[in-house]
Amino acid sequence: MTNVSNLIEDEEVNYEPQILLKKAHAATSSVGSATVVVAMLEKNGILKIANVGDCGLQIIRQGKINFSTSPQEHYFDCPYQLSSHEAGQTYLDAMVSEVELLEGDTIVMGSDGLFDNVFDHEIVSMISRFNDVAEAAKALATLANNHSKDTNFDSPYTIEARNRGNDIPLWKKALGMKLIGGKLDDITVIVGRVISS
């Protein structure tokens, strides 16, 4: 992300988030892999988004989710990732979207630690409580962190796991048990709001 920040105004990038990912990934020397979402707002109000993996972006308009990226996975809990190894995904695998923003729209970007632990209706509700976007981001991160540690919380992650057939053994089900709890993970949240300049 440091490379993304350094290259954002690069002439070759030209408000194309997929090209930004290409250049930033090529300039990265760290070993490992990561999911990523980047968004670039053009002066005409168009938000351009490039997403690899299960990081996400939502646009909340008038108290409802107006747009949401979809996670990219090889299979459950194995997201696409940009990698320092040649065997990973590349910028070409990014899901690219464009959305026209309106004044008052709220943009929520986050790692899977947010979306695996906080339901959409909780995100919308939390956003509606704050005028300050930094406070909203902090509150969402805190909520995700609390849910991730709650072994009795039926999280979006565990619901999805059960829906995809990843569950506890039958003998535990016979005892009335079920797969439940938050998902401990990295949690990153960014919140922005569209205002007129």
Walk me through the domains of the chain, giving residue ranges and CATH numbers: 4-194 (3.60.40.10)
Cβ-based burial of 117 (10 A; exposed 0-12, middle 13-18, buried ≥19): buried
pLDDT of residue 81: 94
Q: Are strands 33-34 and 82-83 parallel, antiparallel or unpaired?
A: antiparallel
Please give the model's pTM, rounded to 2 decimal places: 0.91
pLDDT of residue 172: 76
Tokens encoding 105: 């729209």
Task: Determine the Cα–Cα distance for residues 189 and 56; give it in Å rounded to an integer.
Answer: 10
pLDDT of residue 59: 98
Strand extents, DSSP E, 73-118: 73-75, 78-79, 82-83, 95-100, 106-110
Of 67, 71, 69, residue with least CA distance to 194: 67
Mean pLDDT, contiguous 10-residue spans, the chain (197 residues):
89 89 90 94 94 97 98 94 86 96 98 97 98 98 97 94 85 80 94 92
pLDDT of residue 12: 86
Residue whose entry in the numeric block shows the structure tokens 């988030």: 17
* Distance, C-alpha 23 to centroid of its chain: 21
pLDDT of residue 87: 74
Q: Name the 3-class secondary structure at 127.
A: helix
